[in-house]
Amino acid sequence: MLDDDLYPGYALSLEKVVSEAIHCADESVCKAVAAHLVDLDADEEDFYWVGQEYRRTPSPFESQEHERWYVVGDWDHVAYELTHGQRFFNHKVERFFEELIFEALHAEAADHPDTSPVIKTLPAGTDFYRARLANNGVEAKTIQNNPTVELGAPPKERAANNRMNPAGIPLLYVADDTKTCIAEVRPSIGDAVVVGRFRSTKCLKFFDFTALDGHLSHTPLSLFDPIYEERSQRRLLLEYLHDEIARPVRTNDTDYVVTQALAEFIRYEKEQAFDGIIFRSVQNEGGINYVLFDKKKDPNSMHAPNWRPQFDLEISTDCTSLHTVTAVQYTALPKI
């Protein structure tokens, strides 16, 4: 916009505006382009007047909360449509996810410019933890004697509705430490909890939602990009997306539908072939959760009555431990 001398010394010339608009550092090129833009018949109130000065247009948002409300509106609209409208074969939602994940995957890492920060690879031998409540000593012993089955993902008939999977689709939820996995099963004081330590048998690639918390770095968009505003808005949404993914909801809440749909989109993203997703724990501040996709090498095999999902993790009987919950901490904030 035109500069009104509100902040002396910060005005931009037309050459500088051109340089930023087309991402060109060559002064002679920017000067030549600016010369073609100047209107010799303009006056000092016109945009392309000779010698005109400019400044950046201020943000349209009154505050960060206003920005968040506006940008997350697209996510909320998709969530509402999946929950109460067209849930299956929704090409509009599919396109929305494509745009969002495209911007995430094409972000740049400071130390590895060719790799997006949202792609996290963990080597074989990485430890993960999973917990299960035990009603009594007999059940605890049963779990510890057969941890592969008792601490593994449930069979497809018993797979419950969860944050990243609908009922009937078994995925494996694990955590990065014992405290987090215990917190995730929401025990009460006095409950007995069996914890198993799983170890990966191969290198695993995850889509890491926690990387969004650090604000992704992207190659600047050209102002001549026909979808400049749309792409800018998707990039801005990524800054708030992890909060939407990880926020607490009730287990029977249909808000899970949109996170389940996004997880499925990532699962079948062909270019990267992700093994799972990383997101922050709601139950333990600072804790990290992982959800792993089953390998499904032969889709026809899942029709067998004894079929169980398989993952690139292993656990043995000496990798379990029994814990008794002695305290549960709650933090409450006043509702505004």
Q: Which residue has the higher pLDDT, 289 or 159?
A: 289
What's the whole-number mean pLDDT along residues 30-34? 95
pLDDT of residue 36: 94
Give tens-digit pLDDT for 208-258. 999 999 788 898 888 778 898 899 999 999 999 999 988 877 656 567 899
Give tens-digit pLDDT for 4-17. 877 777 899 999 99
Report pTM.
Answer: 0.84
pLDDT of residue 223: 77
Query: On the CB side of 247, how many CA atoms lie within 13 Å of its CA?
Result: 10
Q: Which residue has the higher pLDDT, 304 or 325?
A: 325
Tell which residue, 293, 281, 285, has the closest CA to residue 330: 285
Give tens-digit pLDDT for 262-297. 999 999 987 889 999 999 998 999 999 999 999 876
Q: Which residue has the higher pLDDT, 254 or 94?
A: 94
Q: Which residue has the higher pLDDT, 225 or 50?
A: 50
pLDDT of residue 23: 85
Average pLDDT for the chain: 89
Give tens-digit pLDDT for 106-127. 998 766 667 899 999 999 999 9
Kindly state the tokens that stand for 13: 């010339």
